[in-house]
């Protein structure tokens, strides 16, 4: 299937084309502001589906809104009509189309042109009045305040928030792309008309800024946001895409002594903590027990033995572990336990605990095994 995408180098176009290719739609006719206009006529003759994503939202003069959002739409539709190509046409409009401002008026005019074209030719048209869309590859300081906020916060640049209680309607780029591609999968069988993105989040500007700032802080305190919250998960992915390319790493605090080291890696509010334990050859670490805190040990390099003794018992249980065979060992509560490196190289153990370490309530009681 030959698919024409206008605005191919824009935020939505770039994400759409990437996913189309992932799904093996390889015959994509890409058109953007740098493409020769003469190619549009050829593309409109060949296209079997059209995504019209091109538009103007940051012009130098107001008249450019109408030129870009209506004028170019008419050029596209005229070319399709010239070739009697009644393939489905999808257009990205905006929730601003209901407002009496230059941008909104131009988007509404583009919608009207598409619906008129449908009535005259019988072609199916799908119009999406998109809310604010956020996600990777969006240009900061251009058409997305989320991109601007993420970009600035990641770089310690000033952030201006005029009305923090403003309620935002936000759609995530992957959800938008999935909806747009669903039209292809339906092979144009869906009834043409106004369409909606199925997932739109309502959240205040203050909440967005606070989340973005917490993401920045998480690289310092080793925390991870609550990924069970759908919006938080998507905003976090977006934030990471705006990190400076020379600042993708951050250091961890290693607590080292003659036995090796212990380093906290990830802390969560409700899913526990992950740490990295390095043991030198012959060294024993542990010799303690817990009331409620439980752990999982995974040796990923080296050889060792994990020993257990139930409190008030003399029987010792041993589990031999190795990076050659990845096995998780559960550390139950009420058992004194330690891990010994019995190899000739450093032994590396990934440790998950069901709760993040709380120095005021460590729930760790030292006792020789």
pLDDT one-digit tens code per residue, 199-216: 999 999 999 999 999 999
Half-sphere exposure of 239 (CA within 13 A, CB side): 26
Tell me if the pTM is above 0.85: yes
Cβ–Cβ < 8 Å for 7, 53: yes
pLDDT above 70: percentage of residues in the chain: 99
Taking residues 266-289, report their average pLDDT: 96
Taking residues 84-101, report their average pLDDT: 94
pLDDT tens for each residue of 287-309: 999 999 999 999 999 999 999 99
Taking residues 72-90, report their average pLDDT: 96
pLDDT value at residue 142 = 86
Q: For the purposes of burial, counting CB atoms within 10 Å of the CB of 299, is it exposed (0-12), middle (13-18) or buried (19 or more)?
A: buried
3-state secondary structure of 234: helix
Nearest Cα residue to 207 out of 170, 240, 171, 165: 165
Question: Is the confidence at residue 188, as pLDDT, over 70?
Answer: no
Taking residues 275-294, report their average pLDDT: 98
Distances (CA, A) of 343 to 186, 257, 259: 59, 19, 14
Nearest Cα residue to 54 out of 63, 67, 42, 43: 67
pLDDT value at residue 201 = 98
pLDDT value at residue 311 = 96
Distances (CA, A) of 161 to 144, 192, 209, 318: 14, 39, 9, 59
Question: Is the confidence at residue 230, as pLDDT, over 60?
Answer: yes
Nearest Cα residue to 176 out of 11, 306, 331: 11
CA distance 35 to 53: 14
Indicate the pLDDT class of residue 279, thresholds 50, 70 and 90.
very high
CA distance 21 to 354: 41
Mean pLDDT of the chain: 95
CA distance 239 to 212: 7
Choose, from 43, 103, 236, 242, the residue flagged as catalytic: 103
CA distance 80 to 58: 27
pLDDT above 90: percentage of residues in the chain: 88
- Residue ranges and CATH numbers for the domains of the chain are 3-130 (3.40.50.720), 254-366 (2.60.120.10)
Cβ–Cβ < 8 Å for 92, 52: yes
- Is 103 among the residues known to form the active site? yes
pLDDT tens for each residue of 105-157: 999 999 999 999 999 999 999 999 999 999 999 999 887 899 999 999 999 99
Distances (CA, A) of 239 to 71, 72, 122, 232: 35, 33, 43, 10
Indicate the pLDDT class of residue 187, thresholds 50, 70 and 90.
low
Cβ–Cβ < 8 Å for 171, 138: no
pLDDT tens for each residue of 18-60: 999 999 999 999 999 899 999 999 999 999 999 999 988 777 7
pLDDT tens for each residue of 6-21: 999 999 999 999 999 9
Q: How many residues does the chain have?
A: 369
Mean pLDDT check: name the lowest of 55-69, 217-231, 260-274.
55-69
pLDDT value at residue 189 = 65
């Amino acid at each position: 299937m030959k698919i024409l995408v206008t605005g191919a180098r824009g935020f939505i176009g770039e994400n759409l084309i990437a996913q189309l290719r992932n799904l093996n739609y390889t015959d994509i006719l890409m058109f953007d502001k740098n493409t020769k206009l003469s190619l549009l006529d050829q593309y409109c003759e060949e296209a079997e589906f059209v995504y019209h994503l091109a538009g103007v939202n940051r012009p130098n003069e107001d008249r450019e809104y109408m030129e870009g959002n209506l004028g170019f739409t008419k050029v596209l539709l005229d070319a399709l009509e010239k070739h009697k190509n009644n393939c489905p046409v999808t257009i990205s409009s905006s929730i601003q189309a209901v407002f009496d401002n230059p941008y909104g008026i131009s988007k509404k005019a583009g919608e009207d042109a598409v619906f008129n074209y449908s009535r005259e030719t019988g072609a199916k048209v799908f119009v999406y009045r998109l809310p604010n869309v956020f996600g990777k590859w969006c240009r900061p300081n251009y058409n997305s305040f989320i991109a601007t906020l993420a970009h600035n916060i990641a770089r310690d640049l000033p952030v201006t928030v005029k009305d923090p209680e403003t309620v935002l309607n936000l759609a995530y780029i992957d959800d938008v792309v999935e909806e747009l591609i669903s039209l292809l999968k339906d092979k144009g069988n869906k009834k043409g008309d106004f369409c909606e993105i199925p997932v739109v989040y309502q959240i205040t500007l203050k909440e967005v800024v606070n989340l973005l700032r917490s993401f920045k802080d998480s690289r310092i305190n080793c925390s991870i946001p609550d990924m069970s919250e759908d919006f938080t998960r998507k905003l976090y992915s977006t934030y990471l895409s705006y990190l400076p390319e020379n600042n993708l790493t951050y250091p961890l605090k290693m607590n080292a002594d003659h036995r090796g080291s212990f380093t906290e890696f990830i802390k969560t509010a409700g899913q526990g903590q992950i740490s990295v334990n390095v043991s030198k050859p012959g060294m024993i670490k542990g010799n303690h027990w817990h009331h409620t805190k439980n752990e999982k040990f995974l040796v990923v390099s080296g050889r060792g033995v994990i020993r257990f003794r139930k409190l008030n018992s003399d029987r010792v249980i041993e589990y031999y572990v190795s990076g050659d065979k990845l096995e998780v060992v559960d550390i139950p509560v009420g058992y004194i336990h330690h891990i010994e490196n019995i190899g000739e190289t450093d032994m590396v153990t990934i440790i998950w605990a069901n709760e993040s370490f709380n120095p005021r309530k460590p729930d760790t009681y030292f006792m020789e095994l």
